[in-house]
Amino acid sequence: PKKVVVVGGGDTSIDVASVARRLGHIKTINPKDHPDGLIIGHTAQDVSTALAKEGADVTLTSLFPVESMTAAEHEVQDAMREGVRILGNVMPIEVIRDESGRATALKMSGCTVEGNRPIPKEGTEFTLEADIIVAAIGQLGDLEGLEALDNGRGFIDADKFYQVPGRPGHFVIGDIVRPHLLTTAIGQASIAVDSVDHYLKHEELVKRPKVDVHHFNLLQKLKEAGLEPESCPTGELRGTSELECAVHNYEDRSAQEIIPADKLFLAHFEYTPRIKRKEIGPSAEEVIGHFEERFVGFTDEEAQAEANRCMSCGMCFECDNCVIFCPQDAVYRVPKDKSTTGRYVATDYTRCIGCHICSDVCPTGYIDMGMGE
């Protein structure tokens, strides 16, 4: 299509408008009509498509002023630089069709927005010609055959386990719960698969910790590494502090949360500036057929350098500071054949005098000591 009108104002509308500019308008021309003999060595079809692309005239219309559109601001700026025309404070009022019923234009009006309701401004009507009109203004599910799961608004409700409330064994995630992002859908799916696993094993669905990506289950880690404590003798046990089987002898810091910067020992870290990705957005003249990312991805070296800036907030990154600085030699490295994630160092409490030095020099805040309260 030569004239594209996108009605929207959010991320989806910006994507549609930008892609329309990149695709351009493809006019079918006969390669032999082309004057300059460039077709030698190419198939006729390659040439006819490559040479016949013209810029599409792409207009995006938004109810809100351009600066308050919900789309990410840098994407709005990129789209404008690439030649998308954005009209703010306007609303569509009528689709104009030809005799065959095909849409040929959109009648628009200037508008103000009260709450979320657009109010047309009288006397500001105008027409936008269009070969195609794309409405990017929200979505809902097609629940044909799944009516019983419809929450009445074209979506499906989910509880915190991503199970449909009142419907054991029915799990749901993603846009059909609430249109959002791919990353949201993937995060929800990772919780839902656990829920499904528990459900199939007839286990109770367990609530997940708030910051679950930084938590690990020490016992589970020990099991994975084949270091599971042997089962303890049954009956009443006393003086278990030396027993290998007693899990409380394994320092379990798995509940450690991500911690704020003021709890890190920042002096340990050198200042390392962030590596920013380069932007190579094309201009309006260069955009047709340009399908490179606007942001250039990191090279392997850059990605590794960025990852190396991680300060491991709240997690042990095996720096040995606590082992080195403990005046009592109470902190020791767990022997390799017994260590797992989160169990790199352990403390011999018969030597510890509670001086807090290990906690002070731990760069990541992993050693969390109370004041005896």
Ligand X SMILES: Cc1cc2nc3c(=O)[nH]c(=O)nc-3n(C[C@H](O)[C@H](O)[C@H](O)COP(=O)(O)OP(=O)(O)OC[C@H]3O[C@@H](n4cnc5c(N)ncnc54)[C@H](O)[C@@H]3O)c2cc1C
Nearer to ligand X, 135 or 353 (CB): 135
**Piece in contact with ligand SF4 (CB under 6 A), picked from 52-60, 198-206, 281-289, 355-363:** 355-363
CA dist., res. 263 & res. 363, Å (int) = 9
The one among 56, 108, 111, 345 contacting ligand SF4 by CB under 6 A: 345
Nearer to ligand X, 49 or 184 (CB): 184
DSSP 322-372: HHHH-TTS-EEEPPGGG--TT-SEEE-TTT-----HHHHH-TTS-------
The one among 224, 244, 292, 318 contacting ligand SF4 by CB under 6 A: 318
Q: Which of 206, 170, 176 is nearest to 191 (CA)?
A: 206
The values of phi and psi at residue 109, to 5°, are -145, 150
The one among 40, 182, 200, 261 contacting ligand X by CB under 6 A: 182
* Amino acid residing at 246: A
27 binds ligand SF4 (CB under 6 A): no
185 binds ligand X (CB under 6 A): yes
352 binds ligand SF4 (CB under 6 A): yes
CA dist., res. 203 & res. 214, Å (int) = 24
331 binds ligand SF4 (CB under 6 A): yes
Nearer to ligand SF4, 152 or 370 (CB): 370
The one among 151, 328, 334, 341 contacting ligand SF4 by CB under 6 A: 328
111 binds ligand SF4 (CB under 6 A): no
**Piece in contact with ligand X (CB under 6 A), picked from 9-17, 49-57, 286-294, 346-354:** 9-17
3-state secondary structure 160-218: CCCECCCCCCCECCHHHCCCCCHHHHHHHHHHHHHHHHHHHCCCCCCCCCCCHHHCCCH
Q: What is the pairing mode between strands 3-8 and 57-62?
A: parallel
Nearer to ligand X, 12 or 364 (CB): 12
Number of H helices, E strands in the chain: 8, 12
SS3 at position 93: strand
Q: Which of 48, 103, 57, 122 is nearest to 83 (CA)?
A: 57
310 binds ligand SF4 (CB under 6 A): no
The answer to whether 141 and 177 are in contact (CB under 8 A) is no
320 binds ligand SF4 (CB under 6 A): yes
What is the closest distance, in whole angstroms, from the C-beta atom of residue 8 to ligand X in the complex? 10
DSSP 207-266: PPPTTGGG---HHHHHHHTT-PPPPPPSS----GGG-TT-GGGS---TTPPP--GGGS-G
Nearer to ligand X, 185 or 369 (CB): 185
Which H/E stretch holds residue 90?
strand 90-97
Nearer to ligand X, 142 or 285 (CB): 142
Size, binding site for ligand X by CB under 6 A: 12
161: partner contacted, choices ligand X, ligand SF4, none (Cβ within 5-8 A by kind) = none
347 binds ligand SF4 (CB under 6 A): yes
SS3 at position 87: strand
**Piece in contact with ligand SF4 (CB under 6 A), picked from 107-115, 179-187, 218-226, 311-319:** 311-319
What is the closest distance, in whole angstroms, from the C-beta atom of residue 347 to ligand SF4 in the complex? 5
Q: Which residues of this protein are in contact with ligand X, per CB under 6 A?
A: 11-12, 15, 142, 174-176, 180-183, 185
Q: Which residues of this protein are in contact with ligand SF4, per CB under 6 A?
A: 316-322, 326, 328, 330-331, 344-345, 347, 352-358, 362-364, 366-367
